[in-house]
Amino acid sequence: MKEKLNKILKLDRRYLFVLLTLSIVIPIIKPIGIPSKSISTSVKDTYNFIENLPEGSTIILSLDYDPSTAPELHPMASAVLKHAFKKNIKVIILTFIAGSGGLIDELVRTIPPQYSKEYGKDYVVLPYMANPLAALTQMASDIHSFYDKDINNKPLKDYEMMKNIKNYKDVAGVIGITGTALLDYWVVYVGDKYGVPILGGVTAISQVGYGPYLQKKQLKGLIGGMKGAAEYEKLISQPWKGTSGIDALNIAHILVIVFIIFSNIVLLILKFL
Amino acid sequence: MDTQVSVILGAFVASGLTLFIFSFLYKDNPFFKIAEHLYMGVGLAWHIQLTIYKVIIPKVWEPLKLAWQNGDTFTVWMTIIPTVLGITLVTQFIPKISWISRYGFTFLMGYAAGLALPAGLATDFSNQILGTIEPFANFFSLSLGRMINAVIILIGTVSVLFYFFFSVEHKGVVKKISNFGIYFLMIYFGASFGNTVMARFSLLYGRFDLLVRYSQKEYFYATNWIIVGLLIYFIAEKIITNKLLKARS
Amino acid sequence: MNIIKKYIPLTIVFIFGIITLASYYVPHRASDEYLEWINKWENIVSAFALFLGMISLFYSHYKKIQRKVDGWGYSLFVYIGFFIIMGAAILSKGNISKEGKLTYLGWSFNNIFNPLSATMFSVLAFFIISTAYRSFKIKSFAAFLLFICGLILMLGNIPLGEIIWDKVFGWTKLTIGEIKDWIISVPSTAGRRGIMIGIAIGAAVTSLKIIFGIERGYMGKE
């Protein structure tokens, strides 16, 4: 009996890999379709912030993620952009991450046409900048001194929506969606220093670490991980990859819990044998 | 590059590279090693080309050209000096003159230290302490729930700080408080673990979603062909290895 | 020679450190202008740091190929991958798309860089499942607490978890989402806050040591 249980504990991990693969692939092919019930407070706060902005306000959307974190962050970036366009909020999109170009390109190719939004009038995309600190500190005095051209290499001042935007005083808030510590930079160098409302979208790994900023209201709202993306998609009634993704992950999560409990029960039995 | 051929070729390349890396989970093999080495070169090249086209050309070359043409010596010097400091970093590889790289590194370290110090103190020190004691400013006007939360946060933060305070020996009351701090740390780590599971599985979902999409007819069943190819390789490898072992024995 | 090799670099770190520190607290136009220029400098200098990485990587793989060590053939793929992307970048002049169409660089990003990068990170998910089965041993109350919080967060992150919770603990009138929110915003915040304050103090001390030349490890050998 002891030998059998030890053999079970030392099971070849490749069987576990196969189980994990099946637990994710099968729901992708045939979705389970369980809707998410709860909406967390921090996601609701982010939603309400955009919902309550007056029409015509401008926000900065800092999209700082690359393909390695895209499955979690791309759906929430898409949901936030859709929500902003739906409320006729103007958006300045920028990035400090080298690999985000293709992902931002995908967003601005597909979403603005759905809401009849015009480049230069309703949204602009600023070019990648390697130094976030330089950008964050200089935008406090004059955005145009740091970003003189847009991503198409045309003078930023020529665009209709940028004519009245000089610095942070002219924007309603900043939403930083990132898989790195860049949201901390926004909080430290912009939110705390200039009182600009900062909201965030982060990977699930980082979400827990922002508890102190949320409690102290240094962050006005936070979307965390794929669950957060699914919740935001539910709030704007536009299910996309966040909703389908979290649906596909149901069995995988239960698998982890079952494995932990099972292995500890076997250990307990072995202890008493 | 949006033609049907480039789309199908892209599907084969993307699903191939993805499956080559996943093949490592079965066992180490040449396909994984090829993908791994490709990733090193591709990753580096990606960042280098971004640096050249988004930093060096627009922020060094073009301002320098313009300033030179306009006779703006101040801007010329303000562009040349950091360029020279940057070039000094590369001297690190030449042992005889590697000391020159100190000029570039000391500039970076001085800048980073000077910037990090006040910001870190303001946001991660003062504001966090303020966040902990702020609820006690008008404690009795809070609801019962918020009162309990404020007390838990205060006790938790202080006990965790006790745990990390190594200048005093952890014995007696200090030991009891720091042990209590460990429980708060475990709660934080447990919460992090739970979210890490979702984060990593989300990435995996992204990859499998792509593989499932590329297994469709419109992508010429790219994923399926690559899987079949890999299976043929592993089976053939196993047969050949067994034959060789038998021949040796 | 000591002055050029040691004291001038230490003076540089002191001057830039102090002025940058002061500019955070001095609300004057000069501070803004200083920050504008120093940030541009940092942008340029750190761009060259990437070339350090490139030289290091190329040199180590070149040596492998030269000495024909085991697996030297794979080192060729480092160069192949590098030149594919650099070639695409030169042809596309650094643009991912032009007039709504993908360039060579955009195609390489979508089909080469993206899959490689994302898959490397997603492989960790398999090791999580392996660790959960083989190494997650609950042998103390602290470990049990870690497991319980992890369990609540995992259940709270999936719709199926919400249903399971409602069926088993629905009588408590508390949803798993509310408990998850409370854990993140109260006890986990306390734990995280203690760590943050500790790190902030450590970072402040290290920054001061660097500025005043007490910490010199970054300068390399004396």
Task: Quickly tell me which residue has 């958006």 as its tokens.
Answer: A91
The answer to whether residues C145 and C128 belong to one domain is no
**Cβ B161 vs Cβ B129: under 8 Å:** no
Residues A116 and A220 in one domain: yes
Selected for mutation to probe chain B from A13, A23, A28, A151 (highest B CB count within 10 Å) is A28
C115 domain residue, yes or no: yes
Give the C-alpha separation, C47 to C32, whole Å: 23
Domain boundary residue, one of C102, C136, C170: C136
Give the residue from C188, C201, C214, C215 with the most B CB atoms within 10 Å of its CB, the best one to mutate.
Answer: C188
Q: How confident is the model at residue A232, as a pLDDT?
A: 96
Say if A243 is an interface residue toward chain B (CB within 8 Å): no
Using CB atoms and an 8 Å cut-off, which of residues 27-86 of chain C contact chain B? 37-38, 40-57, 59, 71, 74-86
The answer as to whether C219 is a domain residue is no
Pairwise CA distance, residues B84 & B125, whole Å: 37
- Convert the pLDDT of each residue in C162-174 to its tens digit: 999 999 998 988 8
Is A98 or B27 the better-scoring residue by pLDDT? Answer: B27
Domain span at C181: 139-206
Spatial distance between the Cα atoms of A62 and A93, rounded to a whole number of angstroms? 6
Query: Do C7 and C35 lie in a common domain?
Result: yes
Number of domains in chain A: 2
Provide φ and ψ at A113, rounded to 5°: -60, -30
| B contacts of C70 (beta carbons < 8 Å) | none
Residues present in chain C in total: 222
Nearest to B112 by CA among A137, C221, A133: A133
Round to whole Å and give the CA distance between B212 and C42.
Answer: 44
Interface of C with A in 110-149 (CB under 8 A): 110, 113-115, 117-118, 120-121, 125-126, 128-130, 132-134, 136-138, 147
Q: Tell whether C46 is within 8 A of chain A (Cβ).
A: yes
| Mean pLDDT on C63-73 | 90
Give, as one character, the DSSP assignment of residue A155: B
- Domain-by-domain residue ranges, chain B? 81-136
The phi-psi region of residue A177 (left if phi > 0; otherwise alpha if psi is between -120 and 50; otherwise beta) is beta
Q: Does B142 contact A at CB distance below 8 Å? A: no
CB C78 within 8 A of CB B41: yes
CATH of the domain at A145: 3.40.50
Indicate if A17 and A45 belong to the same structural domain.
Answer: no
3-class SS of residue B215:
coil
pLDDT at B1 over 60: no
Q: In whole angstroms, what is the distance from residue B1 CA to residue A261 CA?
A: 51
> What pLDDT is recorded for position B117?
86
Mean pLDDT, residues C165-184 taken together = 91
What gap in Å lies between CA A251 and CA A246, rounded to an integer? Answer: 10
A223 and A267 fall within a common domain: no
Q: Distance between CA A168 and CA A232 in Å, rounded? A: 26
Q: Is the confidence at residue C88, as pLDDT, over 80?
A: yes
B residues 105-134 lying closer than 8 A (beta carbon) to A: 115, 119-120, 122-123, 127-128, 130-131, 134
Residues C160, C183 within the same domain = yes
Residue A246 included in any domain: no
- pLDDT at position C222: 60
- In degrees and rounded to multiples of 5, residue C23 shows phi and psi of -65, -25
Would you tell me which residues 37-66 of chain B have a C-beta closer than 8 angstroms to some C-beta of chain A? 46-47, 50-51, 54-55, 58
A177-181, B97-101, B207-211, C200-204: segment of lowest average pLDDT: B97-101
Q: Which residues touch A64 (CB under 8 Å, ≥6 apart)? A: A95, A96, A97, A100, A132, A176, A177, A178, A179, A180, A182
Task: Report the candidate in C85, C60, C90 with the shortest Cα–Cα distance to residue C72.
Answer: C60
Residue A244 lies in a domain: no
C-alpha–C-alpha distance, residues A112 and A105, integer Å: 11
Is A175:A152 a contact under the CB 8 Å cutoff? no
| A45 Cβ contact list (under 8 Å, min separation 6) | A199, A220, A221, A222
- Cα A88 to Cα A57: distance, rounded to the nearest angstrom: 8
In 3D, which of C138, C179, C135, C134 has the Cα closest to residue C161? Answer: C179
Q: What integer pLDDT is reported at residue B91 of this predicted model?
A: 86
Residue B245 scores a pLDDT above 80: yes
The average confidence (pLDDT) of chain B is: 90
With a CB cutoff of 8 Å and minimum separation 6, the contacts of B23 are: B29, B31, B32, B230
Beta bridge partners of A63: A177
User: What's the CA gap between A172 and A192, in Å, rounded?
Assistant: 15
A52 and A172, same domain (yes or no): yes
Contacts of C183 in chain B (CB under 8 A): 187, 191
A 10 A CB-CB count for A106 gives 17
Same domain, A109 and A214: yes
Mean pLDDT along residues C183-207? 91
pTM: 0.86
Chain B residues within 8 A of C136 when measuring between CB atoms: none
**Same domain, yes or no: A97 and A200:** yes
Out of B166-175, C70-79, C105-114, pick the least confident. Answer: B166-175
What separation in angstroms does the CA of A261 have from each of B200, C139, C144?
Answer: 20, 13, 11
pLDDT exceeds cutoff 90 at B188: yes
| Residue C6's pLDDT band (cuts 50, 70, 90) | confident
Report the domain count for chain C.
3
Which residues in A lie closer than 8 A to residue B191 (C-beta atoms)? 208
Say if CB B40 and CB C76 are below 8 A apart. Answer: no
Residue range of the domain that includes A263: 2-30+252-272
- Would you give the DSSP letter of residue A168? G
Q: What is the CA radius of gyration of chain B?
A: 29
Q: Using a CB-CB distance cutoff of 8 angstroms, which residues of chain A are in contact with residue C189?
A: 211-212, 214-215
Residue ranges of chain A with per-residue pLDDT less than 70:
none
- Give the chain C residue whose CA is nearest to the CA of A70: C118
Residue C29 lies in a domain: yes
**Co-location of C105 and C145 in the same domain:** no
Report if residue A35 sits inside a domain.
no
Using an 8 Å Cβ cutoff, are C218 and B178 in contact? no
Tokens 């499956």 found at = B19
CA distances from C62 to B70, B72, C73, C77 (A): 44, 43, 11, 11
Query: What tokens does C202 get?
Result: 């450590």
Q: How far apart are CA C60 and CA C77, in angstroms?
A: 13
The yes-or-no verdict on residue C26 having pLDDT over 60 is: yes
pLDDT at A83: 97
CB B197 within 8 A of CB A227: no
**Residue A178, phi then psi, degrees to nearest 5:** -150, 150
pLDDT at C56: 87
pLDDT in tens, B126-144: 888 988 998 899 888 889 9
Tell whether A210 and A174 lie within a shared domain.
yes
Query: How far apart, in whole angstroms, are the C-alpha atoms of residue C103 and residue C189?
Result: 46
Please report which confidence band the pLDDT of residue B92 belongs to, taking 50, 70 and 90 as the band edges: confident
Q: Does residue A247 form part of some domain?
A: no
Phi/psi at B247 (5° precision): -60, -40
Residue B2 has pLDDT above 70, yes or no: no
